[in-house]
Amino acid sequence: MPSPPSSNGDNSRPAKRRKMAEPEGRKKEYLDHSRSDVEEDELLQLQRLLSVLHKKRKIVVIAGAGISVSAGIPDFRSATGLFNSLKKQHELKFSGKDLFDASVYQDDTSTSAFHDM
C-alpha cells in the first residue's frame, strides 16, 4: 500500500527553528512615592523608569489590590471601604458587597438601590 504524499514535498527543507534568546537577568528596584522629597539616587531610578516606559512597546505590571489605596482610591473590605460606606450612605438593608454581584438584579429593591447610587 503506497504512503500518502508528504505535505512538504520530498525536496523541501524542514522549517527553520527560531533561535531562543537567553532570558536577561532581572533586577528589582523599589521607589517610594509616598514622600514628597526625592533623593538623588531615587531620581536616577525614576529617570531610568521613565526612559524604559517611553521606549518599550509592551510592559507588564503585576500589582496587588493595595496599589490603589496608596493612590487615594478606597478599598472595598476595610472599615472605611466602599462596601461599608455605600451601605451607610444609601441606607442599604444588605451588604455593599452585594451591589457588585449579578444578584443585584434578582429583585426590584436591590436593582433600584443600585441604580440610585
Cα–Cα distance list, 82 to 11, 90, 102 (Å): 68, 12, 17
pTM: 0.34
| Cα dihedral 88/92/97/102 (nearest 10) | -150
Q: How confident is the model at residue 99 (pLDDT cuts 50, 70, 90)?
A: low
Q: How confident is the model at residue 54 (pLDDT cuts 50, 70, 90)?
A: very high
2: pLDDT strictly greater than 70: no
Instruction: Identify which of 6-20, 28-42, 85-99 has the greatest average pLDDT.
Output: 28-42
pLDDT, position 45: 86
Query: Average pLDDT, stretch 60-79?
Result: 77
pLDDT, position 6: 55
Cα–Cα distance list, 70 to 6, 29, 33 (Å): 61, 18, 9
Which one is predicted more confidently, 47 or 59? 47
